[in-house]
Homo-oligomer: A and B are copies of this chain.
Amino acid sequence: MGVIEHFWAVVPAGGAGTRLWPLSRRAHPKFLHDLTGGGRSLLQATVDRLVPLAQDRVLVVTGRLHRDAVVAQLPELPPDAVLAEPAPRDSMAAIGLAAALLEVRDPEAVMGSFAADHVIADSAAFADCVARAVAAAREDWLVTIGIDPTYPATGFGYIQLGTELEGHRGVHRVARFVEKPTVEVATAYLAAGDQRWNAGMFVVRPGVLLDLLARNHPDFAAALRAIAADPVSLDAGSLDAGSLDAVWPSLPRMAIDHAVAEPAADLGRGAVVPGSFGWDDIGDFANLRTLLPAGEDGVAVLGDPQRVRAIDASGLVVTHPDRVVAVIGLDDVVVVDTGDALLVTTTDRAQDVKALVESLHETGHRDLA
């Protein structure tokens, strides 16, 4: 594709990835890990995918707790490319902060937000979708990229395609955003063929985003713009972050979908680019297993396959450098070996890891969660 002028990539790097415990921890969350064995963390791979389109116009929005780790993983970015939220306030605040800064910095900016912890197999197809989305966003559409669903997922919201935009091949109006469905509804969506997964990829002019926010939440939009107007706030590395610290705790916790995307669709200003580029959010270990190749012995390994011995077994093993892991006679098993915690479960029960981590919290094992 090549560079897209005035395109700014915004990368929200948050979320603990609780269902990937004990690999993912509050202090070292999912996006900092190399979960595909390719030698790059999910965050690094996300930025690697965006730099060819945006060059150094990348903003990563993360928590203060993770700022140093993020900066260390991305030495190629300028230091002010990493914005540190004083505390997590959900996606509208994080992406809205980036929008407010970009509105000041580049009047011609079109921003695209892409989570730091997703994987995408086909970068070229992804880039093609982004380029189409940016072209529509320049005409003041709020554009999302909708993932072609591959199974009746109940863990994602869906986007229903409307008619194609005039002059924008492969870009559709959003008929509506829909909540996470039941499996029956999801199955019907898959059969209908006009539904796409909402992966939280929004491409929009910063001013359009903030103006849309201001329609229903004027104080929220004003607060974000006030932060951006304070030059101290822009120095993300500053310990005294000025308006950012003063204003941040008062911001509402809202998902960008509810705050802006659904209202935009209701106003007839939402667009969607359907995309098929091998996307996965690695929600849990069952997910992760499908992304890794299975070895000859039937077991997929994240880490060092030489450290795994499997007899009559299948599933996923995440290795620790200090230990050999032997698995005998278990199918679809999940073994995750870390320095201070070990998980043994099955791909069927991968979702239940979340409950376990919550129980660790409640019983005083916060250090492990």
Write the residues of chain A forming the contact surface with B, with a CB cutoff of 8 angstroms. Answer: 22, 309, 311-312, 322-330, 333, 335, 337-346, 348-349, 352-353, 355-356, 359-360, 365, 368
A324 and B311 within 8 A (CB):
no
A326 surroundings in chain B (CB, below 8 A): 22, 341-345, 353, 356
Do A344 and B356 have beta carbons less than 8 Å apart? Answer: no
A343 to B327, CA, bound (A): 6
Most B CB contacts (10 A, CB to CB) among A341, A344, A345, A356 go to: A344
Report which of B328, B340, B343 forms a contact with A356, defined as CB distance below 8 A. Answer: B328
- Judging by beta carbons under 8 Å apart, are A335 and B344 in contact? yes
Instruction: For A311, give its contact among B327, B329, B356 (CB under 8 Å).
Output: B356
Contact for A309 among B309, B311, B329, B356, CB less than 8 A: B356
Question: In the docked arrangement, what's the CA distance between A309 and B329, Å?
Answer: 22
User: A324 is contacted by which of B309, B322, B330, B341 (Cβ under 8 Å)?
Assistant: B341
Pick the residue among B312, B340, B352, B365 that contacts A328 (CB under 8 A).
B352
Specify which chain B residues have a CB less than 8 angstroms from the CB of A349 in the assembled complex.
Answer: 312, 328-329
Q: How far is the CA of A22 from the CA of B322 in the complex (A)?
A: 14
A339 to B320, CA, bound (A): 11
CB distance from A37 to the nearest CB of B (A): 20
A311-B352, A360-B309 known; A342+B329 contact, CB < 8 A: no
Pick the 5 closest A-B CB pairs, nearest first: A329-B349, A328-B345, A324-B341, A325-B342, A328-B349
How far is it, in angstroms, between the C-alpha of A327 and the C-alpha of B312 when the chains are bound? 20
Q: For the complex formed, measure the closest distance between the CB of A50 and the CB atoms of chain B, giving whole angstroms.
A: 36
Name the residue on B nearest A342 (C-beta): B325
Collect the chain B residues with CB atoms within 8 Å of residue A333's CB: 330, 344
Rounded to whole angstroms, the CA-CA distance of A22 and B309 in the bound complex is: 13
* Complex CA–CA separation, A343 to B53 (angstroms): 47
Are B329 and A352 in contact, CB atoms less than 8 angstroms apart?
A: yes
Q: Which residue from chain B places its CB closest to the CB of A308 in the assembled complex? A: B342
Q: Can you sample 23 A-B contacts with CB below 8 Å?
A: A311-B355, A311-B356, A322-B339, A322-B340, A323-B338, A323-B339, A323-B341, A324-B341, A324-B360, A324-B368, A326-B341, A326-B342, A326-B343, A326-B344, A326-B345, A327-B344, A328-B343, A328-B344, A328-B349, A330-B333, A330-B345, A333-B344, A335-B344
Does A340 lie within 8 Å of B360, measured CB to CB? no
Q: What is the CA–CA distance of A22 and B312 in the complex, to the nearest angstrom?
A: 19
Q: How far is the CA of A348 from the CA of B329 in the complex (A)?
A: 8
Known: A311-B352, A325-B341. 14 other contacts (CB 8 A): A309-B356, A322-B339, A323-B338, A326-B341, A326-B344, A326-B345, A328-B343, A328-B344, A328-B345, A328-B352, A328-B353, A329-B349, A337-B342, A344-B344
Task: Specify which of A22, A329, A338, A343 lies most central, judged by the most chain B CB atoms within 10 Å of its CB.
Answer: A329
